[in-house]
Structure 1
Amino acid sequence: MLKPTTRWHVKTVDEQQAIQLAESLNVSPFIGKLLLGRGIAETAQAETFINKDEQAFYDPFLMDGMKEAVDRIHKAINDHESILVFGDYDADGVSSTSLLVRALRELGADASFYVPNRFTEGYGPNIPALEKAKEQGIGLVITVDTGIAAVEAARRAKELELDYIVTDHHEPPPELPEAYCIINPKKPGCPYPFKSLAGAGVAYKLAHALTGEQPSDLLALAAIGTISDLVPLVDENRLIASKGLDIINQGSFIGIEALLSVSSIERPVDSEHIGFGIGPRLNAAGRMDHAGPAVDLMLTNDPASANQLALDLDNLNQERKSVVDQMTRQALKQAEKQYDKGQKFFVIAGENWHEGVIGIVASRVVEKFYRPTIVFSINPETGLAKGSARSIEGFDIFQALSGSRDILPHFGGHPMAAGMTVASENLYLLSSRLNKYSDVMLTEDILTPLTTVDCECNVQDITIDVIQELNILAPFGVENPKPKFAIKNAHISGLRKIGKNQNHLKLAFTDNESSLDGIGFYLGDKYDQMTPDVQVSAVGQLSVNEWNGFRKPQMLVEDIKVDEWQLFDLRNEQKIQERLTKIPKEKRLMIAFHKQTIEQLELNQLEDEIYSFDDIDSEALKREYLVLLDLPNDRQQLKSLLQKRDFPERIYVIFHHTEEHFFSEFPARDHFKWLYAFILKQGSLNFSKMASSIARYKGWQKETVYFMAKVFFDLGFVKIDNGVMTVNPAPEKKPLTESRIYQQRREQMELEDIFCYSSYQSLKDWFNQRRLERSSIEEAASSELQGLY
């Protein structure tokens, strides 16, 4: 067996309904299944989903506060008031800020922007920045992607007689800021039909309302913010992302073009390019220094300036990667200790850790341990710790943290992520509360990573045409993920490890005459956990592999499993100890039937872990993997071992033995008859001297002659005194098979035949027979037990 690393949940849909839906859309049944799996069952709904160009944006004035905001902004433009767009320092905030500034300037507004410094000002609108804005003659402040929790800042703006409009998309706190108006689809009572816009999406809706039409060029910025912020790519977000990507692929703002260039992204640009190329570089500015240059890049119309700014962001991103790697190593050490203590929620902290990357480090910890995690950076001078939280599927981290608002002076976020500030002296209290909460809310199922599989398929179903057709479901992202497929119980071929560090897996799935290439990045450790004859199931995404002008379908394998027990043949393995140490210690039961085997195999370092047949305890018998280091004394000994326990998930066989009886001559009955007659005729003879002559005369092996003499002695047919052998004058009649020496030699030869020199398949058949026998015994016992009731 090979257990998967995640829980596989395969979506089930009505096959006939999927076929009918596919026929109505003139697409393949696969697309029909995928649409049903995404909750799209009606033809009209599916056509809208596929034909994105026909989908319409919602009326922006459906959003509460929109009319008041538009009227006030137009008044500011008409009265030549200076407008300040107050943004955030992540990719969504940068996109929102540049989007709204561009929209305002196109309307003739005197618009500038302000993004706080993460390290000196922290998250969100702050009082000093608003006071400075007032001093500079700003008449109107508009927040983007921030502000919904900044109650004190809003109160100070009112005191300053500074009109203050909040546009945000984060979860509203119990107390809302006292602003001129608030635009947030999640605001209580807001009738807007779609609640999951990103900050850039809300800014785009405001730009739409201000201009009276859909500003298509600004969709490029809205798409970057939407995709980078990991909001659900459904409904209006899907429309923004799709149309925005179209604009980017046609050629958009100079700053975006410069970022595509330094990121080595070629067209067509898709959501993955934004999420893993553009977004991280925009984020790097605010994480490592200040987000201002990122906004400048999105606003500039000068190619030279754009190229330099893009290069600066790329350099910051490289620096960010280095810092993240260093901090992650330190964070994982803390996480491992908390994991060993049984904690379900990790609270990790370090002095003077780079505040700009603690969110990324938290994500790395979650990837490794799959536990909700907060990573804090402690400022030893102020005694404050700034933290970034990341959650797992099914656990609302915003809700979990909401119970500790009394010790979180600054706090905000989503069900999957949050940011906060806490006094470092309260970190232990926070950890204690969160773990107490998690002990109730985090079940074992939630703590096991979940892989959602869109549908199962056969190897022959996967073609280049099918893979290309999947693109009609793009753009992919949260709640519209790239489809995952499962192949069930396929044979494999060409299994090997690849890559500089041999940490990737290459294989081919075969089914009848069809074949599908597969590659599993960072799955190289699975190589030693699969046998060539086994049938495997795999989950992954599909892609087209282009190489040397050839195009082939392939699966990017994410997880793999084997449902049947496996036999690992190590009978010719040279590096026994190295191979055995790769088997998880807590799962392996290593058995040596003969004590000398440990020394002969040079396994002295593992001696304390090796059991003899007579000292195996009940706990050891529960281990899933059975390792047989040498030959048993007889077959019954091994059969008895297999009956004492559940049949192993894996059996590793070495079957070390020093004497090779199988290739020795085993004398026939006539051989024994002739030798006995010869000894009887001689009366007595010095056997040690005569054995060689007898062997030469008969053409036997000398060892065979000695063996037959030992059988005669064992049966009482002869006596041996000082090397002289004489016939017992009145021996008891016994068959040769009564001799213990005869039985042992015959059994040893048969053991070697079955376990040492048989083919792999014959050996596996022998173990399979034992498995079936055990099943029969269990069934009989179960029937007998049922009969008692």
Structure 2
Amino acid sequence: MLASKTRWNIQQVNEQQVQMIAQALHITPLVASLLVSRGYHTVEAARSFFERKQSFHSPFLLNDMEKAVERIEKAITNDEHILIFGDYDADGVSSTVVMVSALREKGANVSFYIPNRFTEGYGPNEQAFRLAKQQGVSLIITVDTGISALHEANVAKQLGIDLIITDHHEPGPVLPEAYATIHPKISPNYPFKHLAGVGVAFKLAHALIGRVPYEWLDVVAIGTIADLVPLQDENHLLARLGIEQFRQTNRPGLQALCKQCGVSHTAVTEDTIAFMIGPRVNAAGRLDCADPAVQLLLTTDAHEADMLAEQIDAMNRERQQLVNEITEEAIQLVEQHYRDDRVLVVAKEGWNVGVIGIVASRLVEKFYRPTIVLSIDQEKGIAKGSARSIEGFDLFANLSNCRDILPHFGGHPMAAGMTLSFHDVDELRRRLNEAAEQQLTDEHFIPITHIDLCCSIPDVSLELIEQMNRLAPFGMGNPKPRVLFQHVQLDTLRKIGTDQNHLKLLLTEDGKTLEAIGFGFGNIGDEIAPDVHLSVVGELAINEWNNFRKPQLMIQDIAVNEWQLFDMRHIRHPSKFMASLPKEKRLLIAFHRDTVDALQLSAYADEIVYVSNEQEAIIDVSGKYIVFLDLPPSQQIVKVLLSCSLPERIYALFYQRENHFFSVLPTREHFKWLYSFLHKRSPFDVRRYADDLARSRGWTKETILFMIQVFKELGFITVENGIVSLVCDVQKRDLTESPSYRLKQAQAELEHMFLYSSYSQLKRWFDSLYEEENVNGFKTIRHDCS
């Protein structure tokens, strides 16, 4: 057995819809199943998405769009000073760049303002609006922010500034009194509600310049992908076309940023944006002011772009180091004080509030528990932080029950942000843990892997993978397809990489093979026995090398659902491998008391179970990893040991201090020759001439002495003071009538099975026991196992 690291949740779909779409689009049922599971339930919807026939929705379906465009055009005509008020994350930066670009194209007098996370906090603020008034601003357009700015909207009105809000965050029950508010979730006629902030800004830009501004989609893709909005409907179109535009961008800032990432902008994918570009754009606002990121994306000067990209890359490295340091400190706090908590709430003075959301995500990855990370400000008497959750624990709902100690908080079921008095941190921890005790079972603390498809290896082809890739770009709401291969044969396994920390497998099923790579799975290689059947979850990809293309599986999880045999008979010092076995699982079995010293296992002396007879062998071994330390006295005793229940694994060490007399049982021809010899030479002084006789035949002295003992037991000879004399006129008797011969025969069979057999032979012997047990309900041995 090998347990999977996560719980596997296999997606269920309507098979009738799958077959209908597969036939209409001439695609494999597997890909049709993906389309259905992602919400495309009709042929028309599936064809539009799969064949990439989507088009942009009219921006004028958004509430207040005409009003906003009319006011902006008036401001441009009158040369009014327009201020774009953005946010400090990648979505806010991208939104600001798109809006500034649109207004510049229209010839507007425009500037931008992004608040400082540390000195101003999130969103519009009164001081910034008053500063804008002093600078002659008469129109403010918010991007990716503003829907909660009730007070600031009133301030703008008092100052005589018209406020246009464009946002995508959750609107509250009361909306700001703005000149115009453009928001998909308050626009009943707009067909898609989940645009990122940059998507909303792009719609305003589209309406303002009277065409789809494809040239800005490279920037739109950054905000859309980095903000983790669902890549469905219009977001998918924005991301897909944005990546295409990115690959041909002439924007110096993006080219310089890609250079810092070590990638070519012509090869950018959604992963490049999510894990390389987005974090760097985010870094500026996490550590200081986000202005350099906006300037980088707006500049037309290559030299300035290189300087800004280098500056932002340095900030990102600083951000990474900061995250690592805070994560390490937070892990230590958990290990020392909160190891048994169901909800982790960790707080410390001085932690950077710009990165603690990332730290919270790291802790969820490590401990898989809902996590809140708080930075304490002693001067202000507050704790400010971010939270991340796991499936089954609704953060927003549970935090809502703590409103009396949370003056400021917001979010959704899986993530939230908050500010509270640092005196209430312990109380928050207590309440959330009480809630989790009621809502979460032990199973909830096992991560979930959502599986899209169950495949067989013969199903896999380049065509299948290429059809799957037509669903790209992948991201939130449209994840990379995860496939499950159940009970496939392992052909070969080897560890790869400098530190042997990766796995390369060859899987086979019905004569077809599939190569699989598991990055970071090297340690699991020691827990997979040869020739076992595996269940493997992963993502299919195309491996291209030397102009040769073949399917490949990128492993995400592995399970073995059958018992496993590990051949450890070559191990001289077993303590090292035994230390790698979990203590709660391992069961060390010895049949001889001197084994612990012979194998230098004194550290495990208290764990070793000694079995000297069949009665002592009646042990519950279910769910255990049995280690057979030494050779049993008989096969029967092993059969009894395994008769009541099945272990998950058997580690066969079978140490024997000395082989029993010799490795091969003498044949009847051996006995026949020796009897003939004694017939001619009787009496024979065996003590004096046994060595000479053995050398002449190429035997061992022990062989001679053993056969003499057998003849004596059968009454063929007498032995007195080492003189062997033949007995005349004895009846014929079979060798098996000799107790020594029977013992030696049994010992030879035992050694042959447990010591000298191949792995496959030993596996078949154990399998035969299990097959009997499955047939007879574990009652194959005569012992009562109750």
- Bigger mean CA deviation after superposition, 169-178 or 482-491: 169-178
Alignment-derived partner of residue 185 in structure 2: 186
CA 1:130–1:229 in structure 2 vs 1: closer, same or farther (change >3 Å)?
A: same
Q: Secondary structure at the match of 2:380?
A: coil
Work out the CA distance in 2 between the residues paired with 1:682 and 1:302. Answer: 110
- Bigger mean CA deviation after superposition, 703-712 or 241-250: 703-712
Alignment-derived partner of residue 11 in structure 2: 11
Specify the code of the residue in structure 1 equivalent to 2:222: I
Specify the code of the residue in structure 1 equivalent to 2:236: R
CA 1:403–1:103 in structure 2 vs 1: closer, same or farther (change >3 Å)?
A: farther
Q: Pairwise CA RMSD of aligned residues?
A: 3.7
Alignment-derived partner of residue 778 in structure 1: 777
Among 505, 508, 517, the residue aligned to 1:507:
505
Work out the CA distance in 2 between the residues paired with 1:676 and 1:512. Answer: 57
Specify the code of the residue in structure 2 equivalent to 1:216: Y
Alignment-derived partner of residue 389 in structure 1: 387
- Bigger mean CA deviation after superposition, 713-722 or 446-455: 713-722
CA 1:95–1:496 in structure 2 vs 1: closer, same or farther (change >3 Å)?
A: same
Work out the CA distance in 2 between the residues paired with 1:55 and 1:690. Answer: 99
Deviation per CA, 1:355-387: give whole Å up to 9, x if none. 222122222222222222222222343332221
Alignment-derived partner of residue 579 in structure 1: 577
1:163 and 1:180 in contact (8 A); partners too? yes
Work out the CA distance in 2 between the residues paired with 1:27 and 1:246. Answer: 24
Offset, 1:639: 1.4
Work out the CA distance in 1 between the residues paired with 2:555 and 2:390. Answer: 22
Work out the CA distance in 2 between the residues paired with 1:114 and 1:618. Answer: 77
Specify the code of the residue in structure 2 equivalent to 1:530: I
Specify the code of the residue in structure 2 equivalent to 1:169: H
Work out the CA distance in 2 between the residues paired with 1:617 and 1:676. Answer: 42
Q: Does 1:375 align with 2:373?
A: yes
Instruction: Please list, as runs of the form range in 1=range in 2, the aligned pairs for 1:116-515 lying within 5 A after superposition.
Output: 116-187=115-186, 190-263=188-261, 264-336=263-335, 340-341=339-340, 343-515=341-513
CA 1:617–1:316 in structure 2 vs 1: closer, same or farther (change >3 Å)?
A: farther
Offset, 1:392: 2.8
Q: Secondary structure at the match of 1:354?
A: coil
Work out the CA distance in 1 between the residues paired with 2:77 and 2:453. Answer: 57
Deviation per CA, 1:762-783: give whole Å up to 9, x if none. 11111112112222332779xx
Specify the code of the residue in structure 2 equivalent to 1:585: K
Q: TM-score, normalising length from structure 2?
A: 0.88
Specify the code of the residue in structure 1 equivalent to 2:80: E
Specify the code of the residue in structure 2 equivalent to 1:149: S
Q: Secondary structure at the match of 1:563?
A: coil
Work out the CA distance in 2 between the residues paired with 1:526 and 1:357. Answer: 33
Specify the code of the residue in structure 2 equivalent to 1:104: L
Specify the code of the residue in structure 1 equivalent to 2:641: L
- Bigger mean CA deviation after superposition, 158-167 or 296-305: 158-167
CA 1:601–1:551 in structure 2 vs 1: closer, same or farther (change >3 Å)?
A: same
CA 1:613–1:65 in structure 2 vs 1: closer, same or farther (change >3 Å)?
A: farther
Work out the CA distance in 2 between the residues paired with 1:701 and 1:543. Answer: 62
Among 604, 607, 611, the residue aligned to 2:609:
611
Work out the CA distance in 2 between the residues paired with 1:686 and 1:273. Answer: 88
CA 1:659–1:31 in structure 2 vs 1: closer, same or farther (change >3 Å)?
A: same
Offset, 1:260: 2.8
Work out the CA distance in 1 between the residues paired with 2:617 and 2:423. Answer: 48
CA 1:694–1:150 in structure 2 vs 1: closer, same or farther (change >3 Å)?
A: same
Work out the CA distance in 1 between the residues paired with 2:565 and 2:553. Answer: 27
Alignment-derived partner of residue 79 in structure 2: 80
Specify the code of the residue in structure 1 equivalent to 2:467: E
Work out the CA distance in 1 between the residues paired with 2:184 and 2:249. Answer: 31
CA 1:616–1:426 in structure 2 vs 1: closer, same or farther (change >3 Å)?
A: farther
Percent identity over the alignment is 49
2:148 and 2:171 in contact (8 A); partners too? yes
CA 1:336–1:64 in structure 2 vs 1: closer, same or farther (change >3 Å)?
A: farther
2:623 and 2:648 in contact (8 A); partners too? no
Alignment-derived partner of residue 787 in structure 1: none
Specify the code of the residue in structure 2 equivalent to 1:763: L
Deviation per CA, 1:329-368: give whole Å up to 9, x if none. 2223334457741x22222223322222212222222222
Q: Secondary structure at the match of 2:185?
A: coil
Specify the code of the residue in structure 2 equivalent to 1:315: A
Alignment-derived partner of residue 621 in structure 1: 621
Offset, 1:727: 13
Work out the CA distance in 2 between the residues paired with 1:215 and 1:668. Answer: 92
Q: Secondary structure at the match of 1:124?
A: coil
Work out the CA distance in 1 between the residues paired with 2:252 and 2:169. Answer: 30
Alignment-derived partner of residue 783 in structure 2: none
Offset, 1:158: 4.4
Alignment-derived partner of residue 758 in structure 1: 757
Offset, 1:92: 0.5
Q: Secondary structure at the match of 1:430?
A: helix
Deviation per CA, 1:6-59: give whole Å up to 9, x if none. 22233344667535423422434443232223232322111211233x323223
CA 1:153–1:401 in structure 2 vs 1: closer, same or farther (change >3 Å)?
A: farther
Q: Secondary structure at the match of 2:345?
A: strand
CA 1:204–1:677 in structure 2 vs 1: closer, same or farther (change >3 Å)?
A: closer
Specify the code of the residue in structure 1 equivalent to 2:429: S
Work out the CA distance in 1 between the residues paired with 2:121 and 2:545. Answer: 48
- Bigger mean CA deviation after superposition, 13-22 or 203-212: 13-22
Deviation per CA, 1:535-560: give whole Å up to 9, x if none. 22222112222223333321111112
Q: Secondary structure at the match of 1:492?
A: strand
Q: Does 1:112 align with 2:108?
A: no
Q: Secondary structure at the match of 2:606?
A: helix
Work out the CA distance in 2 between the residues paired with 1:458 and 1:181. Answer: 55
1:335 and 1:365 in contact (8 A); partners too? no
Work out the CA distance in 1 between the residues paired with 2:688 and 2:267. Answer: 91
Instruction: Please list, as runs of the form range in 1=range in 2, the aligned pairs for 1:540-551 lying within 5 A after superposition.
Output: 540-551=538-549
Q: Gapped runs of 5+ residues in structure 2?
A: 728-732, 781-786
Alignment-derived partner of residue 643 in structure 2: 643
Kindly tell me the number of residue pairs found equivalent between the two proteins: 774
Work out the CA distance in 2 between the residues paired with 1:414 and 1:210. Answer: 33
Deviation per CA, 1:397-420: give whole Å up to 9, x if none. 233322223323332233332222
Q: Does 1:534 align with 2:571?
A: no
Specify the code of the residue in structure 2 equivalent to 1:762: Q
CA 1:513–1:401 in structure 2 vs 1: closer, same or farther (change >3 Å)?
A: same
